[in-house]
Structure 1
Amino acid sequence: GQIPNAEELKDLQNELKAKSEVPAYVWSVIDAMPADSHPMVMFNTAVLIMQKESVFAKRYDEGMKKDEYWDATYEDAMNIIAKLPAIAAYVYRKRFNKGPRIEQDKNADWSGNYVHMLGLPNENDEFAKLMRLYLNLHSDHEGGNVSAYSSATISSALSDLYYSLSGGLNGLAGPLHGLANQECLGWLLDVYKMFGKVPSRDELYKFAWDTLNSGKVIPGYGHAVLRVPDPRYTAQMKFAKERFPQDDLVQLADMVFDVVPTVLREQGKAKNPAPNVDAISGTLQYYYGVREFDFYTVLFGVGRALGVTPNFVWARALGQPLERPKSLSTKMLEDIVKAAQTA
């Protein structure tokens, strides 16, 4: 692949704009849901209810050839990606009583239009710049995470992208996956509330140890794969320091970066005490006005869709087979443990 030139980028933007109109029945479904529904339920329901629009499903029923699977999947991917900002923005406004739905700005790009429809301040296009960064960084990082892997497994059954993305979003809604960024922000706010200001390094050091000694974890630090600071964390912290370095939460997050890895190394349990993306992403959204924690997973979901749906276009183009992960019986697991103990 290659990075598109200006003309190719414009063509992509125009295609997304042409496909961005959301069917009226989607708004009706969202409006009919209980007022206290979780934003992820509203968002995921809207994605799944659009399955009737699937180009892949229609062409498959018509006897589409295997070497055409990728093309129909591409059409579904573009249709979904184009519509997600409007859907997510309306979920935000509907669920949190922000007022009526805001119509799209046809002159804005994909991320800028998303910010416009959220109805939040976007002075000098700064929030839109963050959203471009945020959505790209949260698109995908490796295929083993719950949302990407579950989506891929579903897609391998030739379920169309509406089905497969919906399945991945269900995984993203789990506390161990998509809720980490809001838990990190909540911990930072707890620190700030405790001291009424940005604490000293010694105060933060003690607070971190108090958290661990109470049987809790410090969210945002450690990663199942990475053994260095998450580059997505680094990119977002750089963005914050360049634009609002005096913000209290940014200063606190930066101090946590200096203090918490030391605490975790002293504790001796964490294999990787460095920060992951969640250690800063919520702080930036909070700065720009997204204060409703339950919406953060929807923000994540829009970005994840941007990453996983193109992967399924490639999967169909390459003719990847149905995924059938092997399972292990309890006895097999016991044998593995015994072998490791005697090795």
Structure 2
Amino acid sequence: MFGLTVRSTAALRQANFRAFSSQISSLKERVAELIPAKQAEIKEFRDAHKNTVVGSVTVDQIYGGMRDIRGLICETSLLDAQEGIRFRGMSIPEAQAALPKAPGGEEPLPEGIWWLLLTGEVPTAEQVKQVSAEWAARSTLPKHVSDMIDSMPKTVHPMSQLSAAVTLMNSDSSFADAYNRGVNKRELWKYAYDDSVDLLARLPVAAAKIYRNLYHDGKLGAEVDANLDWSANFARMLGFNTPEFDELMRLYLTIHCAHEGGNVSAHSTHLVGSALSDPYLSFAAGLNGLAGPLHGLANQEVLRWITALKDEIGTYEPTDEQLTEFLWNTLKGGRVVPGYGHAVLRKTDPRYTCQREFALKHLPDDPLFKLTSQLYRIVPDVLTQHGKTKNPWPNVDAHSGVLLTHYNLTEMNYYTVLFGVSRAIGCLADLVWSRALMFPLERPKSETTESLKAIVAGKAE
């Protein structure tokens, strides 16, 4: 159960975990089998090419957010400007087709993407079931974390609450304890793995508790059921109990999990982890980055913009002419059209596409979805004519809020928490491999404007 207890007591929870342990150690053991070969591959590659230049850096890139500078390794996912994200080489449609589903379901289980990101292998249905069982068995939220969430004023943003809860969980970090005991750094990945599993197991409990405290009666919608998958348990705790919403959560939590290593949440987690901070502290940093309006808050910005559109025009069924005029007024007012464009992608985000396909199947007549589809037809042409957007196509944020609203999860301030629960999968998988490969402390070189001018002047001479 993803509740404050699995069944009725912590002792029974421990008994459940011991009963599963002989079966569920296989994922950790499989990662252990893969590590030596990967370490050897990287050593051979570095020894042969350590002085090979792989790119150049311009002044504009230095001032422009380090866009397109190749400067870190993330083994778990790679973002292609034309194809979108690939999870260990698999596109979203490929992952949707290959990863195990819940009985009677059609969307991939996030437990499967966790296995894929860690191993590069598609798990069996039984292996995914074992991951679900392990996460359920380890889901008890420490009492001091639960008490802290309950003590939060309702004026505290749900992302601030989640970040604080994750930070506080580090009080029983296996990784921090192992480091303090002087465990060999080659073995630290095992403790990063253990913390990561505990965090993934507990995160939906904390997130659901925050939701129920802020927007409902303070009681979880259900306790964790060891027979349900991670997404279905999360849905029950939030208070939703329909097969369609379960499927939406499986899709949402899978496709938001990773977007290579350079985005704010992934890189923040990676950077803080490189200081050998434990996974709790590292991912809390990632959550704080995700909470920014230029990152994880974007989906609620889309809904606010669409609401303003509806209020100004007076209907969810505007004409194409009315919509085009509203778009141009937005752009001429110095504002952006939220949900469109991406720092890397140069085509429609595949994460948008799979959500659109979900909507076409489950809610084709939803007024908000129909408006979103109309925007999809019109916005790219307007942005292209405007001429200031490299990518006029929709990203993942253009659609996710529409789906959540349809199923009556309407509290927009909470949407980034859902994003955070999903993003933990990718950030923590990368963190485990970073410790397994013993990546060093990150410390890029910075310059002042004056020192940079001197460098440029020296090159010009």
What TM-score, normalized by structure 2, do the two folds share? 0.71
2:251 aligned to 129, 133, 154, which one? 133
Task: Map 1:298-309; keep pairs closer than 5 Å.
Answer: 298-309=417-428
Query: Which residue in 2 is equivalent to 1:246?
Result: 365
Q: 1:209 to 1:338 in 2, by over 3 A?
A: farther
Whole-angstrom distance in 1 between the partners of 2:327 and 2:255: 28
Shift of 1:331: 2.2
1:15 aligns with 2:139: no
One-letter code aligned to 1:186: R
4+ aligned runs moved over 4 Å, structure 1? 332-340
Shift of 1:108: 1.5
1:320 aligns with 2:439: yes
Whole-angstrom distance in 2 between the partners of 1:284 and 1:337: 50
Query: Which residue in 2 is equivalent to 1:256?
Result: 375
Query: Which residue in 1 is equivalent to 2:236?
Result: 116
Query: Which residue in 1 is equivalent to 2:170?
Result: 51
Query: Which residue in 1 is equivalent to 2:226?
Result: 106
Shift of 1:332: 4.3
Whole-angstrom distance in 2 between the partners of 1:209 and 1:258: 15
Query: Which residue in 2 is equivalent to 1:188?
Result: 306
Whole-angstrom distance in 1 between the partners of 2:196 and 2:404: 26
* Identity value in percent: 49
Contact preservation (8 Å) 2:220, 2:239: no
Contact preservation (8 Å) 1:146, 1:168: yes
Q: CA RMSD in A?
A: 1.7
Whole-angstrom distance in 2 between the partners of 1:3 and 1:20: 24
Shift of 1:90: 0.7
Query: Which residue in 2 is equivalent to 1:271?
Result: 390
Task: Map 1:52-91; keep pairs closer than 5 Å.
Answer: 52-91=171-210
Query: Which residue in 2 is equivalent to 1:172?
Result: 290
Contact preservation (8 Å) 1:220, 1:276: yes
One-letter code aligned to 1:142: E
Contact preservation (8 Å) 2:161, 2:210: yes
Shift of 1:104: 1.9
Shift of 1:192: 2.4
Contact preservation (8 Å) 1:73, 1:161: yes
Shift of 1:312: 0.7
Contact preservation (8 Å) 1:92, 1:98: no
Contact preservation (8 Å) 1:37, 1:95: no
Query: Which residue in 2 is equivalent to 1:212?
Result: 331
Shift of 1:197: 2.7
Query: Which residue in 2 is equivalent to 1:28?
Result: 147
Contact preservation (8 Å) 1:105, 1:116: no
Q: Deviation string for 1:159-218 (max 9, x for gaps)?
A: 000110011111111111111100011112222233323212111111111111122111
**Secondary structure, aligned partner of 2:441:** coil
Whole-angstrom distance in 2 between the partners of 1:284 and 1:24: 34
Q: Deviation string for 1:292-323 (max 9, x for gaps)?
A: 11101111110111110011111111111111
Q: 1:136 to 1:337 in 2, by over 3 A?
A: farther
Higher share in helix:
1
Q: Alignment length, in residue pairs?
A: 339
Q: Deviation string for 1:221-265 (max 9, x for gaps)?
A: 111100011111111111111111110111111111110111111
Query: Which residue in 2 is equivalent to 1:222?
Result: 341
Q: 1:211 to 1:111 in 2, by over 3 A?
A: same
- Any unmatched runs of 5+ in structure 1? none
Contact preservation (8 Å) 1:86, 1:117: yes
One-letter code aligned to 1:256: L
